[in-house]
Amino acid sequence: MTSKKNIGSKLLILLAGILWGCMGLFVRPLNKNGLSSWDIVFLRASWTTVFMALFLLFRDKKLFRIKWKDIWCFLGTGLLSIVFFNLCYFTEITITSLSVAAILLYTAPAFVMVISAFCFKEKLTGRKLVALFLSFLGLVFVTGVIGGTDRLTGKAVLIGLGAGLGYALYSIFGRYALERGYESSTISFYTFLFASFGTVLFAKPQKVWNVVTLSGSGIALAVTFVLVSTVLPYLVYTIGLKKVENGQASIIASIEPVVATLNGILWFGESMTWSVAVGVLLVLAGIVLSSTEKKHCRPRM
């Protein structure tokens, strides 16, 4: 029987996916105000670093301490995951449709499962594979790829898979950091500190500052965006990883595009089609199936 702690951890991961799925509610207004995709990523990373620094200062300054021999974990979550994933994803959406880009991005759970099987001895059970298939098929329906006319080039496939791999690497490097005794707040701080250094190369920091601070509403939008779509979900996701296997976590978090799609329908007048409805049900079925998987191998902590 699944323990109460394990259920709580899965709910935290589900919450993270839901909050990530609300990102579009903030990204669209920021983009409308003149910020590019890279500007928004830089805003997200740099302001998250500031908020997490303040949190650590008030909670416990010792949480800033990391060992030099462990710095590769945070370079992994910050540069190899967040910066590399965004670089691939933003390139992908310029050469193919958003729906195809989203599908290739959500190959991430497959990458997580395979890498975790080797690195953390997590078993590839039949239940996990069925849950992965249901979730991925659901995303195909949600994004409308079925029946579409998109033709994929080899370049688009490779870049899209790169985005999926980068997205998956947060779970992998985050797990390594947890195993070395670091708290989720410490991991989040250093993740976005290094991500800030990486994204500043592609963004226009002065423009970001000018746009955001132009009005009180702009500041409020930026602060809410950072807290709701980054600080809180990354904290709770990393906490959830303490008790949930990487493979399960990645499938549960696939609620993100479903929430994003539903937000589009509720707030931006996008249509609810039969394929979206079927896709939502399939993704939810995959999440439920994955969530009821019994733990075969306790993550090493």
Phi, psi for residue 177 in degrees, rounded to 5: -65, -40
Please check whether residue 7 lies inside any domain of the structure: no
User: pLDDT by residue (tens digit) across 64-113?
Assistant: 999 999 999 999 999 999 999 989 988 888 787 666 777 888 889 999 99
pLDDT digits (tens, 9 = 90+) for 21-53: 898 899 889 989 999 999 999 999 999 999 999
How confident is the model at residue 100, as a pLDDT?
A: 74
Check residues 265 and 233 and name the one with the higher pLDDT.
233
Q: What contacts 224, CB < 8 A, 6 or more positions away? A: 26
Tokens 């800030």, located at residue: 196
Over residues 254-279, the pLDDT tens digits come to: 898 888 888 888 888 877 788 888 88
Residue with tokens 């994929």: 152
Q: Where are the alpha helices (DSSP H) in 144-254?
A: 154-179, 184-199, 205-212, 216-226, 232-240, 246-252
Residue 132 lies in a domain: no
pLDDT tens column, 154-205: 888 899 899 999 999 999 999 999 999 999 999 999 999 999 999 999 999 9
Q: Tell me whether residue 263 is in a domain.
A: no
Residue among 63, 43, 67 at smallest CA distance from 52: 63
3 occurs within a structural domain:
no
Q: Compute CA distances 168 → 44, 149, 227, 271, whole Å.
A: 19, 28, 22, 30
Tens of pLDDT, residue by residue over 100-159, are 777 888 889 999 999 999 999 999 899 999 999 999 998 888 877 665 555 667 888 899
Type of residue numbered 170: Y
Vertex 259 angle, CA 20 and 87, to 5°: 45
pLDDT at 61: 95
Domain assignment of residue 63, given as a range? 15-125+150-246
In angstroms, the CA 251 to CA 112 distance is 9
What's the number of domains the chain is made of?
1
Tell whether 67 is covered by a domain. yes
What are the pLDDT digits (tens) for 236-254?
999 999 999 999 999 999 8
**Distance from the first to the final alpha carbon of the chain:** 21
For residue 284, is it within any domain?
no
> 93-97: which pairs have CB atoms within 8 A and are 24 or more residues apart?
95/153, 95/155, 95/156, 95/159, 96/150, 96/152, 96/156, 96/160, 97/148, 97/150
Residue 287 located in a structural domain: no
Average pLDDT, the chain: 89
Q: Which residue type does 185 have?
A: S
pTM: 0.88
* pLDDT for the residue 152: 65
Find all residues with CB under 8 Å of 35, minimum gap 6, and list them. 43, 207, 208, 211
- 180 part of a folded domain: yes
Contacts (Cβ under 8 Å, ≥6 apart) of 234: 16, 48, 184, 188, 191, 192
Q: What is the pLDDT of residue 298?
A: 44
How many other CB atoms are there within 10 angstroms of residue 145's CB atom?
17
